[in-house]
Amino acid sequence: MPRRTATPNPSAPEAPITVTGFALAAGMAPEYRLVDMSADTSEGALPSTVTIREVGPRDGFQNEPEIIPTAAKVELIEALARTGLERIELTSFVRPDVIPQLADAAEVLAAVRLPESVIGSVLIPNERGLERSLEVRGAAGGRPAFDEVSVFLSASETHNRRNVGRGVAESLAGLEAVIALATQEGIPCEAVVATAFGCPYEGAVPRVRVLELAEALAAAGARELGFGDTTGMANPVQVAAFFPAAREALGPGVELTAHFHNTRGQGLANALAALQAGVESFESSFGELGGCPVPAGATGNIATEDLVSMLETMGVATGVDLDALIACARRAQEILGRPLGSHTLVAGPVGELAAH
Ligand code: ZN
């Protein structure tokens, strides 16, 4: 079988070169820009827009060794909210003695000011967390302090016990109550199934198990199902098979969200696989901040600036100003006093490369 090459033939620039469902657009810098063929409805065609929820202020800040001052968190959240990001996870109502990094959840929510267009969410671990969040939500009068809640459990029994100290069945029962109460309050719920693509303690996690939990959470009222590759174990082939199965199990009315970690450098490949499988909602963390409290070393969400860079250069609109986003990551580096892991932060946007 002849080897396929993506190198354009300069003698025939108008001839599109197909690379698994994509075409190089004539006149574009071919080494940088792959766009989907607008008439292509075959498998692998990309959506024209996607939604990104920035989870750095929660998933990122909770995994930093130091406690970031509240004022710095508010500064970073408000800067992120000016980049064009549509959704931001602001903080979490976990137990302050367990995650002291986010013990200032109420203070952050009281101080932060979001543009009307930006949807703020908070992570809720259990019934008590929801109660605490609701005490804060309407406290300031005017716009509620957050618009959505995210709840989570792990598909793996061992990871769930180590992460939240409960078995999966007990977590599910608690979250069903949380979702019911939030729904009653008119608050949309995202339910995240963590370790959906593999568990560091148990290994492979059966897809049927993940989808059973997802179906139960959707039945309880979750409008959005997030699937977390919590410790970076997913691969693109697995992801490509997973999301069509999730869509079939959950039906068309549930938003499917992909949450990948870059622990083994496969995060963006997994994001592309999800995109090609029809996913239009992603979670990521500026500066590649983040990880998971257990096991140690399970760090790194995919970086929002790397995701935005990849999507925009493929012709998938994110609505995000990449330069403004990189400025946020730079500011986070200053506040933390160390370099962060995102590639685009180091290399700069593709457009800047082309100008040299
Ligand atoms: Zn995460």
Is the pLDDT assigned to residue 16 strictly greater than 60? no
CA of 16 to the centre of ligand 1 (A): 38
pTM for this model (two decimals): 0.86
Domain count across the chain: 2
270-329 pLDDT tens trace: 999 999 999 999 999 999 987 655 566 556 899 999 999 999 999 999 999 999 999 999
Residue pair 280/49 in contact (Cβ under 8 Å)? The answer is yes
State which residues form the domain around 37: 1-45
**Which span out of 23-27, 136-140, 297-301, 339-343 was modeled with the highest average pLDDT?**
339-343
Q: Catalytic annotation on 292?
A: yes
Residue 344 has pLDDT above 60, yes or no: yes
Same domain membership, residue 190 and residue 165: yes
Check whether residue 143 and residue 35 sit in a common domain: no
Amino acid letter, residue 7: T
Residue 286 corresponds to which tokens in the numbers above? Answer: 């500026």
Write down the pLDDT at residue 295: 63
Choice among 189, 199, 292, 328 that is catalytic: 292
- Same domain for 172 and 313? yes
- The answer, yes or no, to whether residue 180 has pLDDT greater than 60, is yes
Of 5-19, 184-198, 219-233, the range with the lowest mean pLDDT is 5-19
Residues 92, 201 share a domain: yes
| Ramachandran category for residue 301: left, alpha or beta (phi over 0 → left; psi -120 to 50 → alpha) | beta
User: Residues 54-82: what's their mean pLDDT?
Assistant: 93
What CATH number does the domain containing 329 carry?
3.20.20.70
Res. 65 pLDDT band, cuts 50 70 90 = confident
Give the residue-averaged pLDDT of 168-195: 97
Residues 74, 153 within the same domain: yes
Confidence grade of residue 64 (pLDDT, cut at 50, 70, 90): confident
Task: Say if CB 344 and CB 303 are below 8 A apart.
Answer: yes
Q: Which residues contact 260 (CB under 8 A, 6 or more apart)?
A: 229, 232, 234, 266, 267, 268, 270, 271, 274, 282, 284, 301, 302
215 and 334 in a single domain? The answer is: yes
Q: Is the pLDDT of residue 120 over 80?
A: yes
Q: What is the 292 CA–ligand 1 centroid distance (Å)?
A: 6
pLDDT at 140: 67
CA of 46 to the centre of ligand 1 (A): 24
Inter-CA distances, 225 with 92, 127, 258, 317, 341, Å:
18, 19, 9, 22, 27
Could you give the angle at which helices 207-219 and 236-250 cross, rounded to 10 degrees? 40
Tens digits of residue pLDDT in 71-97: 999 999 999 999 999 999 999 999 888
79 & 142 share domain = yes
> What phi and psi values does residue 303 have, to the nearest 5 degrees?
-75, 135
% of the chain exceeding 90 in pLDDT: 72
Does residue 212 share a domain with residue 134? yes
Q: How far is the CA of 231 from the centre of ligand 1 (A)?
A: 8
In angstroms, what is the span from residue 222 Cα to ligand 1's centroid?
A: 19
Q: How far is the CA of 301 from the centre of ligand 1 (A)?
A: 6
Domain co-membership, 63 together with 32: no
Peptide bond connecting 295 to the previous residue in cis, omega within 30 degrees of 0: yes
Give the Å distance between the CA of 112 and the centre of ligand 1: 22
